Amino acid sequence: MGEMTFAGKVALVTGAGTGMGAATAELLAQRGAKVALLGRREAPLRAVADGIDANGGEALVLPADVTDPEALGRAVRATVDRFGGLHYAVNNAGVSSENHDLPDLPVDVWDGTLAANLSSLYYSMRAELPAIAASGGGAIVNVSSVFADRGLPQRAAYSASKHGARGLTRSAARDWAARNIRINELQPGVIDTPMLDAGEGEVEHIAATIPAKRLGAPREIATAVAFLLSDDASYITGAHLAVDGGFLA
């Protein structure tokens, strides 16, 4: 099997300014895709785009909040206007939430976490699916978490949002498979990114609980996303793939 190529294709990546999203956008661009970068803050997106451009790729910077369905619609239209279509989407943006016992979980934290991690997937696919269909089909990867399979202590909102991502992905995959669009869920384990908010010494403790005895790297998530988007995964839809060093084993 040769290296997957995305030459002539267009991809949109949310949460593309840092971590897994940035690594994914960079890898897709390295393999030939034109990439739209979406995130809340323009400066990190611009830095990723500059790196892509410097390496001969082409990137579009789209500052937007994934909890705003109208902003997502505008971003997809801007992508199609700039690049002529949309073939792939990686819905990676999300938040980690806060630690609370359930009775003490503030309603606004619950609402905000569900909006950022679950409703955002609905808003994103609502805009992306018609554009991908109009381009002849393609694929979507919704990035969730290993905690779509396990409850995370004191993170009820986070765990609920990731479990919800599983159901949304499966339902959408069934509905769009006959229209040549594959939709899968990727479950990162504990990945070494700026979003990892463990305190001093906690990272070492977490790593010791993982069979691989280390944290994952953003590039390892990016390569798994690229596989699910590629034609090498042409008969995979509605599936979930854990990239977790054996955490769920």
> Which structure tokens are listed for 186?
């990727």
Rg (CA), the chain: 17
Kindly provide the residue ranges of all beta strands, DSSP E only, lying in 64-209, ordered along the sequence.
Answer: 88-91, 138-143, 181-188
Kindly provide the residue ranges of all beta strands, DSSP E only, lying in 129-207, ordered along the sequence.
Answer: 138-143, 181-188
> Which structure tokens are listed for 79?
């992508």
- The answer to whether residue 158 is catalytic is yes
State the amino acid at position 190 in one-letter form. V
The helix-helix angle for 218-229 and 19-30 (nearest 10°) equals 50
> Which structure tokens are listed for 108?
């606004």
The span from the CA of 137 to the CA of 228, in Å, is 14
The span from the CA of 15 to the CA of 24, in Å, is 10
Positive or negative, the CA dihedral 166, 232, 188, 54 is negative
Residue tagged active-site, from 88, 122, 158, 235: 158
The span from the CA of 230 to the CA of 179, in Å, is 17
Return the active site residues: 158
